[in-house]
Structure 1
Amino acid sequence: MRPVLALTALLATAGCWRSTGARSDGPVDLLVLAPHPDDEVLMAAGLLGRAVRDGKSVAVVLMTNGDYTCARDGLLRQQETIQAMRSLGVTEAQIHFLGYPDGYLPKLGENPLPPIERRNPDGSCGRANTTLPARGAGHPDEHTRRTGVPAPLTAKALLGDLTAVLERLQPREVVLPHPIDEHPDHAATYAYFRRALEGLKRGPVTVHRSVVHQGNCWPGDCQVELSPESKVPLLPAPLEAYLPSERFPADGRAKEALIADYHSQTGPQLEQSWLASFAKADEVFFPETLQRDDAGHWSSGPAQTLDGEGTRALQWCMGEACRGYQVELDGTQLTLREAEGHVVRRWTAVDATKWTLEVRPGAGDFSEWSLSTPQGLVGVAVLPGAKGALTSVER
């Protein structure tokens, strides 16, 4: 059954969460960048609520409307986000929908996507290949707000829209998906954010990266029922030692009540929904501090860098212990695999011929391997070994 306590009473136990007003421009103290309607609550309901309660300015930016075919009504999902955010004290004027299609963020390239099935504002099922103007700050999508017309479904258009909204809002802190998230839209959201930074004069002070999809059950447990009073568990193997360095307390019952607002995603029985497993007593993040390097590009610190094209064999050595890896680029996919053939991560890389690999220390005894093409960051993998030497192996 759904939570029976009134949301207002639940929130009162954590302090009075009040509206920060209808401010829609920056600078804002906290911006949550969500791939789909519901991710803003799954990642950061507690952090958002605390910011509102403390009188800080906030904004929520959604990459898609969650409209994956007509079976998932993007307009309904927009309304669910607006309702849940209203309960937190975030007004519709503080919510910005970019309006790109659910499930297609990694597939955007130079040429517009063909028309995609989606629900029209009048309730009919149709097809279109532009962003969908509907709700949020000013009511249209970001591209329509700026130009008067919806955007074509291209990587350039999305990058331009995200850069523009970040430039206008000037967030001091950003919550967004961790690039190791297994959902392609989540990993792509981080990649587009890093590309957008290159067009900004100033970036956020701190980035809080959140994992939503990792394994079949996480953050729940396939065998043990976890309650809203429990804490977020460790990531599943092989990343259980990749520890978040930020844990913020949250009211699990209040978060459960907010998750219940997303009726289209939870179904009639909230407790049977995977989304309910995000109602926990804390929220965890992997923070990243970004800075401009000597070339004027944004990075998260010094890295070992290797350029290549096509397929290249690599060695990652920690003392005398070495592991072999391989980077493969075939023009549509960029793959990082172990020498034995196991695929570590695979990303969509549209119209690319060259790549750059950057390796820098991550959390715990891990390193973050960032792969980019001339179009910008494609993806990040987290691998064991915080300190090592990266070399190219002649074939």
Structure 2
Amino acid sequence: MKHKAVILGCNYYIGLSTIRCLGLHGIHTVAVDYSSKQAYGAKSKFCSEQLIAPHYKEDKEGFVRFLIDYASKQSHPPVLIPCHDSYVEIVDEHLAKLKRYYLIPQTEQGLYTKVMDKGTLHLLATQNNVRVPETVKLNDEHFFEKIENIIQYPCIVKPVDSPAFVAHFRRKLFKVHNKVELIKALDEAEQAGLEVIVQRIIPGFDDHMYTFDAYLNQQSQVTNWVSCRKLRQYPVNFGASVYTEYKKTPELYEIGAKFLEHIGWKGFAEIEFKKDAETGQFYLIEINVRITNLNVLLQQAGMNIPYLTYCELTGNVQRQSAEARATKRVFWYAYEDLLAIRDYWRSGQLTRTQVVRSLLFRPKAYAIWDWKDPQPALAYMGILLGKFLRKARKG
């Protein structure tokens, strides 16, 4: 393969799975991060090269210059694959400049950010007749009356810019149960300089959360897709997938494919939906525009997103298979699933019997572990051990 693949962000299992998905096909993978200390993804035997770049937050311009300098020295433009929302934002901001040196699926500057932004995503969805949870903005007239009468308590306070919110608060949102808690959450967001919205909570346990994962070619047509259902997430109720199954749901294709094609999307996207437990209707919650947490499950179902991206952008178009094949495998991020199980038990949302039954007789698509590539898991366990020892010393 003449073109290298540059993977941004390898201190999390998304970057690791991306490296493996490409390395399996003999592609030269380049792991880029701001530090080598916790970049366990770069320990994979499929990682061909590791680069330490300026920190994307502390020196954004230096980070972009670093990427351009590296690509300009290559004989063929590399494929650029960001594996974290913050990297996506930088790529979007400098898209025109980066596309001179890298192969990137998206061509419309600003579209990544528009879809990641909860406010503009809400507008796009309503314009395309896609249901979204009832939402109130802070500058709406009769704000608190709308909360009482339309949204009702409990409700959630969500960020417009999720990466910035998570970086500051180490959580995805605030769940509030009354006006006092709402005012406190709004004050905290204002002090942090972060814009938020207030949304109704769609009824239903966490297993009412679904994903529609799709790849769209350069003509903005869905060529590959799969749908999944979350069984558990962490933090519980409003978190990321930690135990998720393949679940064929044609209705999600009807909603998601039409929406993504209409907005001119190119490349990979994952739409998260919640199925209303009372009405059965699906509501769009958010869209992930970088490689997903479930990447290893998608790959084992026959939809290798990093490889599809690489092949299309380098001119080696693969045979398209529409929906991925069914699989009984479940995605499992064991460490955070154990934390989630603890919280589900404490809150009475799951029993021990329910958890044990869910784990038995299900082949696993592990987030980190791989018998044929064990070094990243060993490095990750070393990182966890270091954290526990530091906590023990402080205690």
Q: Tell me the TM-score normalised to structure 1 length.
A: 0.25
Q: Tell me the TM-score normalised to structure 2 length.
A: 0.25
Question: Where is the strand percentage greater, Structure 1 or Structure 2?
Answer: 1
Question: Where is the helix percentage greater, Structure 1 or Structure 2?
Answer: 2
